[in-house]
A and B are shown apart, each in its own frame.
Chain A
Amino acid sequence: MADIVTMPKLGFDMVEGTLVRWVIAEGEKVAKGTVLAEIETDKATVEVETNYNGIVHKHLVSQGSVVPVGQPIAVIAAPGEQVDLGQLSLEGGIKPAVSPKQTAQLNQHVTAEEILPDQGFLPGGVKTSPVARRMADERGVDLKGIHGSGPGGRIVKKDIESYLTHPSVPQPVLAPLGVEPQTESTDLVLPLNRLRAVIGRRMTQSKQQVPHFYVTHEYDVGRMLELRSQFNNLLLENERISVNDFIVKGVAQTLRQFPNLNASLVDDKIRQHGQVNIGVAVTVEGGLLTVVCREADRKPLRQIAMEIRSMTERARHGKVRPEDVEGSTFTVSNLGMFDVENFAAIINPPETAILAVGTAREVAVVVNGEVKPGLRMKTTISVDHRVSDGAEAAHFLQALSVYIHEPLRLIL
């Protein structure tokens, strides 16, 4: 009884993944939970584990292939088992002809017919209404390049019509850039890596479609820094709590009072999330990832610090797990370590807001008419104006100051 391993769907918007490396070679044994391969998705490189025991009968795709979600990538069989692969020969060339449902799990002999039905495939899992699909076929329009305005992002007739009227709608750059004719010979031309391309696509989409506004607030962080150093004196080197951990915790607790900023705009509805999952932007080689501290409002500071540290480690070593990067409801981006006074971040869709945190600096402050040294830190929140307004954002920043000015509240 052969089992088929398919390209897993590791995020709600993942449509394909790159098979970076086969960890287990053909003919080698695997058990449930063995890491079979490494896959690079839009967001991270992840390890794919098998759910089967047996030997790797065949790799169906070669390293470096881009494979649609749900497409078979390997066959696992019992030792010595004869598997009828039929005409199943995908190596080297991926035929975009399989829907996830059809390839779920085949219990019997694998044949080409079972795996490769030619009917009903939509390129890249694009969702369209039937009439939109027909019109696109007739007019040779590539549905991948069209934004769907129907429910759940469905491409409807109107979208095709407007595309045909204004075909020049700018599209985010997805593919590596080629050499421009006017390039000077001394220029170094680098292809975009996948992560860079994805960041580009998502950020372009966010800036084009999400109306951002920004509110900045300055905090007195004297007590917070003092408390932090008290804590860290008690902790081991690898347990230490960062300024950012304090902010993550404070933001999470404050968001409980501002469900609108812990929300997503879905079609014409605002979905206020039941969980407060704080994304933390992490610099990695070739780009940026957001690791997610789930239910940060309910976790002790020390646990938050530990989780973020280990997820950051994994992200920087390219070993991030799907759950590390999925499901954030609000993001914190901190450039404090780079001596940055203040900056504004781009919202990470489908979230409603992102908080950009600057460096805690010693500055001259006026207290009761006297100039004194003080520790100040600026943060700027970027908010989706479709969901919220300036006053709410300002209230949020004020409410956050309750925790930052009296950080013991984060411990209570």
Chain B
Amino acid sequence: MREAISQALWEEMERDERVFILGEEVGLWGGTYAVTKGFYDHFGAERIRDTPISEAAIVGAAIGAALTGLRPVAELMTINFAFSAMDHIVNEAAKLHYMFGGQFVLPMVIRTVSGGGRQLGATHSQTPDAVFAHFPGLKVVSPGTPEDAKGLLKACIRSDDPILFIEHATLYQARGEVPEGDYTIPIGVSKIQRSGKDVTLVTYSKMLELSMKAAEKLAVDGIEVEIVDLRTLRPLDMGPVVESFKRTNRAVIVEEGWRSHGVGAEVAARLYEEAFDYADSPIKRVAQKEVPLPYNRALEQLALPQVEDIVQAVKEVM
């Protein structure tokens, strides 16, 4: 997936000279997750800008650049640090277009990394995606496959809206086919990643990988799981989710973040609102335990959703 994201950035920078990258260690070092390795030598210091260690400065500068007609791609080392730039993200980026009556557009992308599982401790391992998806005016995209990552990132860079593009810390090594040539994938469109008739599993990002594994295991027991990958958290495309739920009558939502007020809560509520009469059993959620994520490897894994948790939840709704 690292290469897919890298390709998307490279191709968009080649295609449009207004596109530039800014962030901590993105230039000389090549990016904390090595996504922009080689970019500095090719595109130069003007378009690959190393910044001070100040997330507020990074996002603030990106907003300013976007308002003046450039198309910045800001990189925040992890989503945990986005809290330092929260005011810029939710009070400026998400609202300027609205507050100036549409006189401005903000064609900016904030790329960042979410998720736990790498023993980085409680403050560097969070999955607060739902927090950002709360604000109208900010689009939140979070792909689960290399193909989607490339196509969606290119679409984000070409979009005139401010977008938070959330990658997952343990998906950079994920492998998958990526189509040849230039392509984009529309923002705000969910996708059925696996077809099945018994249960609808709604998920995104890293949990897509776990859900696919759970589906394999459940298939052995004769349970056919349909997996809907949200890909975008805002705007949330419930179409394929509802359509699938109407066929299976059962749903499990799998997210890596905490359960309370999370993505699962939103999806479940919408399913009850839009398809109550199709439910055959209560909708279940699989999510992170409600604790700060432990550093200890064993405890960390216990707190994060596991394949077995998903299998169990699916069996419970059957």
A residues lining the B interface (CB < 8 Å): 129-134, 150-151, 156-158
Contacts and interface: CB of A to CB of B under 8 A. Distances in A.
Contacts of B278: 130-131, 134
Contact of B281 (A133, A134, A156): A156
Nearest to A137: B277
A134 B249 contact: no
Nearest to B277: A134
B74 to A, nearest CB: 45
Contacts of A132: 280
Contacts of B183: none
Contacts of A131: 249, 277-280
A157 B198 CA distance: 12
Nearest to B246: A131
Interface in B184-229: none
Interface residues on B, range: under 10
Interface in B249-306: 249, 276-281
A262 to B, nearest CB: 29
Contacts of A157: 249, 280
Interface of B: 249, 276-281
Most buried by A among B249, B277, B278, B280: B280
Contacts, number: 26
9 closest pairs, A vs B, by CB? A134-B277, A157-B280, A129-B280, A130-B279, A131-B280, A130-B277, A131-B249, A131-B278, A156-B280
A151 B281 CA distance: 9
Contacts of A129: 249, 279-281
Contacts of B276: 130
A6 B277 CA distance: 30
Contacts of B279: 129-131
14 contacts: A129-B279, A129-B280, A129-B281, A130-B277, A130-B279, A131-B280, A132-B280, A134-B278, A150-B280, A150-B281, A156-B281, A157-B249, A157-B280, A158-B280
A133 B277 contact: yes
A330 B279 CA distance: 38
B16 to A, nearest CB: 49
Contacts of A134: 277-278
Contacts of B249: 129, 131, 157
A129 B280 CA distance: 5
Nearest to A132: B280
A150 B282 CA distance: 11
A158 B279 CA distance: 12
A278 to B, nearest CB: 36
Contacts of A156: 280-281
A157 B276 CA distance: 13
B197 to A, nearest CB: 12
Contacts of A133: 277
